[in-house]
Structure 1
Amino acid sequence: MHIQKTAGTSIMMMARERYGTGGVISHADFMHLGREGCDSYPFISGHFGYDFAEQLLEGRYAFTILRDPIERLISLYWFSRAATDDNILYSTAKELSFEEFLLLGRDRRGATSHPLRPQIWNNQTYQLAHGYGSDVDVDAHEPKILLARAKRNLGNLNFVGFTETLNSDALRIFRALGGSPKITRTETNVTGERPRAGDLPRSTLALLREMTELDQELYHYAKADRWPRRMTAFWQSKARR
């Protein structure tokens, strides 16, 4: 499950070394392939959420990468401003200041939310609770229910890694998949000049915390569960050999 701006493109390029270009799908491929089309590939990666992925999990080694939620949102905005493709995320980021962009993630109290709300407001939690490719809207549940579902679904994955420890986590992932553990780490889609959290005004930081409250709890929950999940993944991989 490739959550945006969590180094998923780097993981996908490593997978192409292992499975070949024709053996890997990524990003938005799932939207036209559907589940049956995806299932014919040995390595499935994409911006789909858990609901789409759930029926593909059986018999596969499943994992995702999480990232510090505030850093992920900063990266998403500045990457989008520099992107050359034409879509609503990129064009909106180019038109708005960072604070204006973050405000699009707010619940509009009964009015129709902005289309970018699922990408701005607690996106990692939404992706793991339901996510893209699901019929369930980001506001279908109370926030605490959304978070509980995301935590539960994390437990159905074989491994949860972190962008901040990508090198060691990627090595564990590809060891678990079998074959040579040798992989090439290639940094892709890296945003150049952008501010860090400490460089931002207090008002912007307050909005970032508001937009990532659930993601912060999910991130720290996954961090606390790090060693048990790693050991589970290790023994599962040993059992398949």
Structure 2
Amino acid sequence: MTAEKRLLIYMHIPKTGGTTLKNIIKKQYHSKEVWFHMEKDMIPKLKEKRKIDQLKCVGGHCWYGLHEYFKRPYQYFTILRNPIDRIVSEYYYILRRPHHKAYPQVQNMSLMEFIHHFPLKSSNQQTRRISGCIHEPDLDLAKKNLQNNFTVAGLSEMFDESIFLMKKTFNWGDISYSKENVTNNRPSVTDMPKDILSELEKRNEMDLELYTFTKELLAVKLESLDSDSKQELEMFKAGKQD
């Protein structure tokens, strides 16, 4: 597979640092080579507005299986997040944005009500997306897809390491960034009531296991870097802390 022919598919899982990552991606390609609205119902609009053969990277809040719409070699990449923290962040993100399409429903809901009323958002969403099984998440399939079809699967909690691996894997240039779309002034998970934490843990057993699995895969990739790349990574991380 040549770098020119492959199509990179960025699976943007909500509240995992996706807006920041998209800004990094935009720096790597010409505007005609990128499309970031890849929910399946956007495919017809994509065909109307863009020459598909020019695209090098597409992305969006998509599910595994999007590659079936393209007759090209493909590589997925994504970033996951601790599922409990991700759901809490998404709830407060919606609650503070009246323009969000879910805001009219969420504005008067408690977090527990949100969890019960939005099962696709609050129950194993990462496993659902990565397995491609929306209504019946398949953990084994999600793990298999991560191993075989995701060239890089990073973590929000290891964002610098994750985008550095993408830089090396996809031959990117500048990956400097400033954080975007951050949900500030929200309670930390450690401050959550025990009944809410218990409910979230029960509803996200697969996502919690998938998160651990992803962390293990990421550690192997980082360890396999050559000594020069490891030194470059440490310099990059140190630069972000300055």
TM-score (norm 1): 0.78
Following superposition of structure 1 onto structure 2, how do residues 124-203 of structure 1 map, counting pairs within 5 Å? Answer: 124-130=126-132, 137-139=134-136, 146-155=138-147, 156-180=149-173, 182-203=174-195
Between the aligned partners of 1:15 and 1:5, the Cα distance in structure 2 is: 17
Between Structure 1 and Structure 2, the one with more strand by share is 2
Asked if residue 33 in structure 1 is aligned to residue 43 in structure 2, the reply is yes
Partner of 2:108: 95
Alpha-carbon shift at residue 231 of structure 1 (Å): 6.9
Alpha-carbon shift at residue 230 of structure 1 (Å): 5.0
Between the aligned partners of 1:121 and 1:179, the Cα distance in structure 2 is: 34
**Percent sequence identity over aligned pairs:** 27
SS of alignment partner, residue 50 of structure 1 = coil
- 8 Å Cα contact 2:20/2:180 also seen in 1: yes
Partner of 1:82: 96
Cα distance 1:34–1:230, how it changes in 2: closer, same or farther (>3 A)? farther
RMSD, matched Cα: 2.6
Partner of 2:76: 62
Asked if residue 43 in structure 1 is aligned to residue 53 in structure 2, the reply is no
Alpha-carbon shift at residue 168 of structure 1 (Å): 2.2
How many residue pairs get aligned? The number is 211
Instruction: Extract unaligned runs of 5+ from structure 1.
Output: 105-115, 131-135, 235-241
Residue by residue, what CA displacement relative to the aligned partner does 1:82-110 show, whole Å, maximum 9, x if unpaired?
123241x3322212000111122xxxxxx
Partner of 1:133: none
Residue by residue, what CA displacement relative to the aligned partner does 1:17-48 show, whole Å, maximum 9, x if unpaired?
11134432224565322597484421111111
SS of alignment partner, residue 150 of structure 2 = coil
Cα distance 1:167–1:137, how it changes in 2: closer, same or farther (>3 A)? closer
- 8 Å Cα contact 2:40/2:66 also seen in 1: no
Partner of 1:213: 205
Decide which moves more: 225-234 or 4-13: 225-234
- 8 Å Cα contact 2:38/2:58 also seen in 1: no
